[in-house]
Amino acid sequence: MKIKFKKSDLYYLMAVLALIIYKHVLPSDHSGKDVTKVNNHAYVDLGLPSGTKWATANVGAKKNTDGGYNFAWGEVRDKALYDMSNYIWRNNYVFSQETCIKYNKDDNKTELEARDDAASVRWGTEWRMPTKEEFEELIDNCDWEIQYNKYNYIFLVGRSKTNGEAITFPACGFMSGYDTSLYGQYGGYWSSTLFQEHTSDAYIFSFDSKSISCVNNNRCEGLKIRPVLR
């Protein structure tokens, strides 16, 4: 006996098959679970030892594959120019990167205060920028892979070693002066932690197609921010 399918049945089966393939081949930030939000911003629980919960998208982005806004470290507004000439914490009397008027060797402030934290200011006090230690915990507790879109831009995808949940970081380059460099090839994300050996710098989460690490970076440059919950 032959089984006959209606066209509508065939379309339904194709849709189900496509959904199965999508879920098993393309990582999502929630593994098919309901999205949980705080202040209308989604987060993912990766089962990290600290319990830290990470936002699924950057500040200024509508989804996890969008870049969002650029920020200089310790500034809460995006802008067109990123250098010492308009950096909010520059010393107007001594034009030097090593003489910033806040977060320096004299005031002993090594982590951004909430009022200087773009995640807290833009998304609400439930959110903040991650510390260097939290980025290192994220690196150590996920399996990482590089994926590419149709333009050959890279995306860093981490999947939790504990619960299989995933998080995606687009490679959006960085801004120095008026220019964006290495868009689609390199990703840089600010932490809230000052680089104490050279206080013109702060720590960032940095990656390209070959490496992932936490390194120091000039505070004046424009990079992305991926918040965490307090």
Report CA torsion sign: 198, 208, 53, 74: positive
Q: Is the pLDDT of residue 114 over 80?
A: yes
> For residue 220, which of 54, 104, 85, 115 has the smallest C-alpha distance?
85
Burial of 107-125, coded b for 16+ CB within 10 Å and e otherwise, reads eeeebbeeebbbbbbbbee
Extents of the domains making up the chain:
33-229
Q: Is the pLDDT of residue 26 over 60?
A: no
More confident of the two residues 221 and 7: 221
Confidence of residue 134 (pLDDT cuts 50, 70, 90): very high
Joined together, the tokens standing for residue 142 give 């996920």
In the three-class reduction of DSSP (H, G, I as helix; E, B as strand; rest coil), residue 181 is classed as strand
User: Residue 9: what pLDDT?
Assistant: 53
User: Residue 97: what pLDDT?
Assistant: 56
- Summarize pLDDT for 184-194 with one digit per residue, the tens: 999 999 999 99
Confidence of residue 4 (pLDDT cuts 50, 70, 90): low
User: Residue 98: what pLDDT?
Assistant: 66
- Summarize pLDDT for 148-170 with one digit per residue, the tens: 999 999 999 999 999 999 999 99
Confidence of residue 49 (pLDDT cuts 50, 70, 90): very high
CA–CA separation, 230 and 225 (whole Å) = 15
Q: What is the DSSP letter of 99?
A: G
User: Residue 92: what pLDDT?
Assistant: 75
Averaged pLDDT of the chain: 88
> For residue 154, which of 185, 189, 175 has the smallest C-alpha distance?
185
More confident of the two residues 93 and 21: 93
More confident of the two residues 49 and 12: 49
Q: Is the pLDDT of residue 143 over 90?
A: yes
CA–CA separation, 39 and 54 (whole Å) = 14
Range 61-73 average pLDDT? 96
Report CA torsion sign: 218, 190, 59, 109: negative
How are the residues of the chain apportioned to helix, strand and coil, as percentages rounded to the nearest 5? 20, 30, 50
More confident of the two residues 111 and 98: 111
User: Residue 91: what pLDDT?
Assistant: 82
